[in-house]
Amino acid sequence: MDQFLVPSVSKPLDGEVEISGAKNAVLAVMAAALLADGVSEITNVPHLKDMKTMSDVLRIIGCRIGGGSHELRIDTRGADHLEAPYELVKTMRASFYVLGPLVARFGRCRVSLPGGCAWGPRPVDLHLKGLEALGAKVTVTHGYVEATCEGRLKGGTFHFPVSSVGATVNVLMAATLAEGESVLQNAALEPEIDNLVDYLIGMGANIQGRGTRTLVVQGVEKLNPGKGRTIPDRIEAGSFLCGAAITKGRVKVTNMDPVHIAAVLDVFRDMGCKVSTGSDWAEVDARGVELKPVSVTTLPFPGFPTDLQAPLMATLMAVPGISVIQDTIYNDRFTHIAELKRLGADIQLVGNTATIHGGKPLESANIMASDLRASAALVLAGLIAEGETTIDRIYHLDRGYEDFEAKMAALGATVKRVRPGMEG
């Protein structure tokens, strides 16, 4: 398994990084392709492990996947095996997105339950209840969800008791082909949902309320194959901007939308960084700045994203004083703390709240990535730890950061990928 070797930076990060397409947005749209018979196209697709996993899920269903550089073509004309197996769904929860489109279009499907993940249980009850509200009959047997309906799904009203990106994606896709009107209340507001709504409208779906908590869908009998460009990855952008703050350097992220990370930019401002933005870029400049501790709570969009909780925590280790981070989305998403402590971090965790005593010297160690965003946090920490930090299990990082080492190199950091036993 590959490792990263991360020597401490000799000088603060300084430079520009072009942000890739948002993997979470692509995953939803790839599943949406199943709603139509024909060839759908997606552009601005990052080269990432998760795209390959979703392609494998679609291939098992009978789709053909092609495309060029940063483009995907999904031909659903052969889709007839209405099943997503455990082997794939367990490696990537978003595989579960095929559930809604398959039952809506074919009237039946069998999809493995995703199971938990490194930071605890992640239920799918709202995906299932939402589909039931549209008339699907849902049973769970032997670890698989079986969903069926007689004829078409029937439009209905569903109120999401908590804001859920994944459940909104699944139920919204299903509603586009349901008979009559569906009303989704307290739908998620994340930009990836807007990206999906745009794509579905391009396929011929009738959806009102884009960008609001209430989506009203008039179901149609048939959708056409889609074509659309993916929004930029706000989490990738935020992760690189953390690199500016933690090394007291300057990073400009381009080809992105600063509105998508407004809450994140506010945190950098609160820390004392100079933040500038344009229509498709943002810059954090921490050169010569006395960084200040902050108190941050993760929230659904437009709040501070849970996916940047770990990178921010690493960043706050470099900020003298006491910072606090509370994660209200995932109470247990803190496996990175034990690894950061191996570098000398002083962090206390009580419930879902971490208190970071920053500004203490860190020294390199062997550490291990436990999930995608935690792995970015460990690299950031490695940049300021004295000596060379070795990070294991970086396959997690490969799920979500395209060309990571090259982008880091463009900012002046050396992140070297090695395969133990294969050097020399």
Q: Interface mask (CB under 6 A) for ligand UD1, residues 188-207, using x and -?
A: ----x---------------
Which one among 126, 133, 189, 291 touches ligand UD1, defined by CB under 6 A? Answer: 126
Q: Does 94 bind ligand UD1 (CB under 6 A)?
A: yes
Q: Minimum CB separation from ligand UD1 for residue 199, in Å?
A: 14
Q: Does 20 bind ligand UD1 (CB under 6 A)?
A: no
- Binding segment for ligand UD1 (CB under 6 A), chosen from 8-16, 82-90, 164-172, 348-356, is 164-172
C-beta of 9 vs 25, nearer to ligand UD1 = 25
Q: Minimum CB separation from ligand UD1 for residue 37, in Å?
A: 25
Which one among 105, 127, 342, 407 touches ligand UD1, defined by CB under 6 A? Answer: 127
Which one among 17, 19, 27, 296 touches ligand UD1, defined by CB under 6 A? Answer: 27
Q: Does 140 bind ligand UD1 (CB under 6 A)?
A: no
Q: Interface mask (CB under 6 A) for ligand UD1, residues 289-318, using x and -?
A: ----------------xxx-----------
Q: Minimum CB separation from ligand UD1 for residue 232, in Å?
A: 15
Q: Does 354 bind ligand UD1 (CB under 6 A)?
A: no
C-beta of 82 vs 167, nearer to ligand UD1 = 167
By CB under 6 A, the count of residues binding ligand UD1 is: 21
Q: Minimum CB separation from ligand UD1 for residue 329, in Å?
A: 5
State yes or no: is 117 an active-site residue: yes
Q: Does 162 bind ligand UD1 (CB under 6 A)?
A: yes
In terms of phi and psi (left: phi > 0; alpha: psi -120 to 50; beta: otherwise), the region of 135 is: left
Distances (CA, A) of 403 to 49, 78, 149, 345: 12, 33, 43, 28
- Binding segment for ligand UD1 (CB under 6 A), chosen from 124-132, 213-221, 261-269, 287-295, is 124-132
Q: Which residues bind ligand UD1 (CB under 6 A)?
A: 24, 27, 93-94, 122-127, 162, 164-167, 192, 305-307, 329-330
Catalytic residues: 117
